[in-house]
Structure 1
Amino acid sequence: MHRPMEGVRVLEVAQFTFVPAAGAVLADWGADIVKVEHAETGDAQRGLVRVLGLDAGREGSSFAPIMEGPNRSKRSIGIALDKPESRPVLEELVRRSDVFLTNYLPAARRKLGITLEDIRAINPDIIFVVGSGFGGGGPDSERGAYDSTAFWARGGSADGLNDPDTDRSVFMPSGAYGDNLGGMTIAGGIAAALFGRKCTGEPSELDVSLLAVGAWATQFNVNLAMMTGGPLPKESKKTQAPGNPLSGNYRTSDGRWLQFSVLQPTRYWGEFFRALGLDELAADTRYGTLEAIAAEKDTIFTTIADAIASRPYEDWVVAFKDFSGQWAPVQDAWDIANDAALIANGRIVDVIDADGKPQKLVANPVRFDRQPVRMTRAPQFAEHTDDILRELGLDDDQLIALKIAGAVT
């Protein structure tokens, strides 16, 4: 059963990445996702041409990763939900769905008649899922958010990376960073809700907020602050374990980085320094205890930093290839795309884009039964409108009438 969601039908009324990313994960797992897009403008994310200063696509190509990632393997239908002529189409889609998935704000849901009460009046058994900025309760329940604000800034990740003397708060390392984590969280919640409905017959209402996902990601710090009764002290992030220079990041001669997390430095001491080419230090018996290492941490840190700074990144990747301690090269996006472990485990997937050209996408991190992910490209705007409407039983005259009314595209 490597596609455990086969047979599950999801109606997605959402845009951007948070929430659509959940649909993408469910599609990877085998669900049938019908994506409802605005009949005139489509998903607003289709209009993004630059993300974090980078081109979102390539001139002359239909393939745009900002849309492909969170929308692969879906079908798109263009519906003007604000036109009464479209209501029968929406209602029939709701009747045929197991899950209703949205990130529209409460005011928009009320205006368009897609609140929990509206949807459950059509299909009492449907699982109703909202991805929100700050949760369905409290003073900010009506406010919108992006992952940069609710997840990254308000959820604690930015503060956790800021050194005490920084003059600029650190920004997210990748576009849609919190959105993708949030989408994975929503997908897990939907899986639990489907299981619960099967066991009890009761459908669930789910609310996953970017703020809550952010707090979950930083929960160690949050829990520690609550235990101590105040803000945590600010320290430089030069090493994750102060007093242990074998746990930290070091810069190579060509400006790349290596990350070490050797939390048992006495166990790996000799092997570590032999990999560095410092055999004399590897055999130095003065550093046989944690206390002795901590007492000389600054000197040892400088020795390691100087050694690593003397050679380029690729040399060190080879030198530490067989090191049994815990370390990793700090990889950029191209390195990750070519990571042997990801490829061997089927987490980099080949797809054919709308122009018939081969492309690659990152798969969701869950692998079922050691099988590859079956994935197709994201749909073009409203690409499947006619097919979906015919599945609902509409004939050509009815399709034309809906299009003349502006109810569908």
Structure 2
Amino acid sequence: MTDSPPRAQPLAGLRVLDLSRVLAGPWASQILGDLGADVVKVERPGSGDDTRAWGPPYLQGADGQATRESAYFLCANRNKRSIAIDMASPEGQQQLQQLAAQADIVLENFKTGGLAQYGLDYASLNALNPRLIYCSITGFGQNGPYAARPGYDFLIQAMGGLMSITGVPDGEDGAGPQKVGVALTDILTGLYATIGILAALQERRHSGLGQHIDTALLDVQVAALANQASNYLVGGVVPRRMGNAHPSIVPYQSFPTADSDMILAIGNDGQFARFCQVAGHPQWAQDARFATNPQRVAHRSVLIPLLRQTTVMRTTAEWVSALEQADVPCGPVNRLDEVFADPQVQARGIQVDLPHPLGTVATVASPVRLSATPVQYRRPPPLLGQHTQEVLHDWLASQPADPSQSTQLAQATS
């Protein structure tokens, strides 16, 4: 019996022309690159993607000195090639149109209608390449009264309701709306954009035609409210900020311990009964006020202080050890240094170190685990314009591939 030949990555052979910058668009194109697509990132000569300047911190070079490659840029741009083209110039527009004619996917996050002046909008490029899948990412979408407005993650977290349900409850110290500690709306928009692109690719197999994907940060943020949005639509009650507590499950929040904090994520009555046994208060599970989740929710104000008085009697490690043995979901509140030192994180290989032209760059692995066609980390995040001549040759056969020219151009434009 002979071994089967290795299978190609899922998106191998697909070409992505990435006109996006900052986070939502680059996050989507990085996923496509991780899955095997040839992603070409188009950047402004001289400055490049805005996030290249969003530091410190910056990558440390082999000599230990900081480079001009920001950590922010590095997080969302591996498995791509960078070309530096001025789309405001007639020559640049012609080159980009030629590249789009050879592409399977164009990804952009300019203001609505902003690329029409360059002949790079969907209508113009669809005329050149009817098979093209064109994904637009904007703050508010291609239509509606806000369509022309710029949209940023922080703004959309506020307008889309996320900040109204995030933060310390009213009446407590530090009360007020809070944003999430990472640009979550951008990340989720990148994921939804990727899903839309994959769906359009599947449909193209039947029709032979591409289509326009309209992805808006506001749409994504409202959709991602999930049960909180449903609670309002079904129950008619506006959700409120509850800190780390859950509106429908108790106890499901953080609790102080003797040395730090821990999370209890008790999702059913059996788990609660087992917690009570470990905590030395089995009677709580028999108390009519606490025996079922609806009753625990109704009597939250009584139960939570009792739990807090108990959890402070042991350290986080002691609680986690005892509760894990009882099959009660719990865990520490880790700092990022503790996250990357966690044995489970290390066992899963979540940190991936890639060789970079300026040294070594540490990245976070893709969470997509495919058994037969796994993600490959083929390229580190590129230098600005590093692959201009190479890409023009590969896609257009218009210029000879000369690595030395690519290096010189990258140095000239970085």
Q: Which residue of 2 aligns with 1:178?
A: 185
Alignment of 1:111-122 (within 5 A): 111-122=117-128
Match of 1:18 among 14, 18, 24: 24
C-alpha displacement of 1:61: 4.1
Residues 353, 314 of structure 1: alpha-carbon distance in 2 compared, 3 angstrom cutoff: farther
The DSSP-based 3-state class of the residue aligned with 2:200 is helix
C-alpha distance in 1, partners of 2:190/2:310? 42
Q: Which residue of 1 aligns with 2:398?
A: 394
C-alpha distance in 1, partners of 2:69/2:314? 38
C-alpha distance in 2, partners of 1:372/1:253? 43
The DSSP-based 3-state class of the residue aligned with 2:75 is helix
CA contact (8 A) 2:165 2:239 kept: no
C-alpha displacement of 1:292: 7.4
**Cα deviations across residues 305-351 of structure 1 (Å, max 9, x unaligned)?**
12322333333333333331333333332333344444444443332
Residues 397, 347 of structure 1: alpha-carbon distance in 2 compared, 3 angstrom cutoff: closer
Q: Which residue of 2 aligns with 1:102?
A: 108
The DSSP-based 3-state class of the residue aligned with 1:249 is strand
C-alpha distance in 1, partners of 2:238/2:387? 52
**Cα deviations across residues 266-306 of structure 1 (Å, max 9, x unaligned)?**
x1344313444x2xx13667437328767875454223212
Alignment of 1:142-161 (within 5 A): 142-150=148-156, 152-161=157-166
CA contact (8 A) 1:275 1:323 kept: yes
Residues 102, 274 of structure 1: alpha-carbon distance in 2 compared, 3 angstrom cutoff: same
C-alpha displacement of 1:57: 5.3
RMSD across aligned positions (CA)? 3.1
Alignment of 1:10-409 (within 5 A): 10-50=16-56, 55=57, 60-61=66-67, 64-150=70-156, 152-162=157-167, 163-165=169-171, 167-174=175-182, 176-229=183-236, 232=238, 234=240, 236-237=242-243, 239-240=245-246, 245-256=250-261, 258-265=262-269, 267-276=270-279, 278=280, 281-282=281-282, 286-287=286-287, 289-290=291-292, 298-357=301-360, 359-369=361-371, 372-375=374-377, 376-391=379-394, 392-395=396-399
Instruction: Specify the code of the residue in structure 2 equivalent to 1:87.
Output: Q
C-alpha distance in 1, partners of 2:43/2:299? 61
Instruction: Specify the code of the residue in structure 1 equivalent to 2:147.
Output: S
C-alpha distance in 1, partners of 2:166/2:90? 49
**Cα deviations across residues 344-397 of structure 1 (Å, max 9, x unaligned)?**
44443332233232x432233322126653113100111111211222223369
Residues 45, 269 of structure 1: alpha-carbon distance in 2 compared, 3 angstrom cutoff: closer
C-alpha distance in 2, partners of 1:143/1:284? 54
**Cα deviations across residues 10-50 of structure 1 (Å, max 9, x unaligned)?**
00011111111100011111111000001232111111125
CA contact (8 A) 2:13 2:38 kept: yes
Residues 148, 57 of structure 1: alpha-carbon distance in 2 compared, 3 angstrom cutoff: farther
The DSSP-based 3-state class of the residue aligned with 2:195 is helix
C-alpha distance in 2, partners of 1:27/1:21? 10
CA contact (8 A) 1:28 1:363 kept: no
The DSSP-based 3-state class of the residue aligned with 2:82 is strand
Alignment identity in percent? Answer: 24
C-alpha displacement of 1:259: 1.9
Instruction: Specify the code of the residue in structure 2 equivalent to 1:217.
Output: A
Residues 211, 261 of structure 1: alpha-carbon distance in 2 compared, 3 angstrom cutoff: same
The DSSP-based 3-state class of the residue aligned with 2:380 is coil
Instruction: Specify the code of the residue in structure 2 equivalent to 1:193.
Output: A
C-alpha displacement of 1:91: 2.2
C-alpha displacement of 1:65: 2.6
TM-score, with normalisation over the residues of structure 1?
A: 0.85
Residues 295, 9 of structure 1: alpha-carbon distance in 2 compared, 3 angstrom cutoff: closer
C-alpha distance in 2, partners of 1:65/1:287? 52
C-alpha distance in 1, partners of 2:131/2:268? 53
Paired residue total:
390
More RCO (CA 8 Å, sep 6+): 1
C-alpha distance in 2, partners of 1:33/1:382? 13
The DSSP-based 3-state class of the residue aligned with 1:250 is strand
Instruction: Specify the code of the residue in structure 1 equivalent to 2:398.
Output: L
The DSSP-based 3-state class of the residue aligned with 2:115 is helix
Match of 1:8 among 5, 14, 20: 14
Residues 89, 238 of structure 1: alpha-carbon distance in 2 compared, 3 angstrom cutoff: closer
C-alpha distance in 2, partners of 1:225/1:293? 21
Residues 296, 88 of structure 1: alpha-carbon distance in 2 compared, 3 angstrom cutoff: closer
C-alpha distance in 2, partners of 1:320/1:389? 59
TM-score, with normalisation over the residues of structure 2?
A: 0.84
C-alpha distance in 2, partners of 1:292/1:13? 53
C-alpha displacement of 1:93: 1.0
CA contact (8 A) 2:105 2:132 kept: yes
Residues 296, 159 of structure 1: alpha-carbon distance in 2 compared, 3 angstrom cutoff: closer
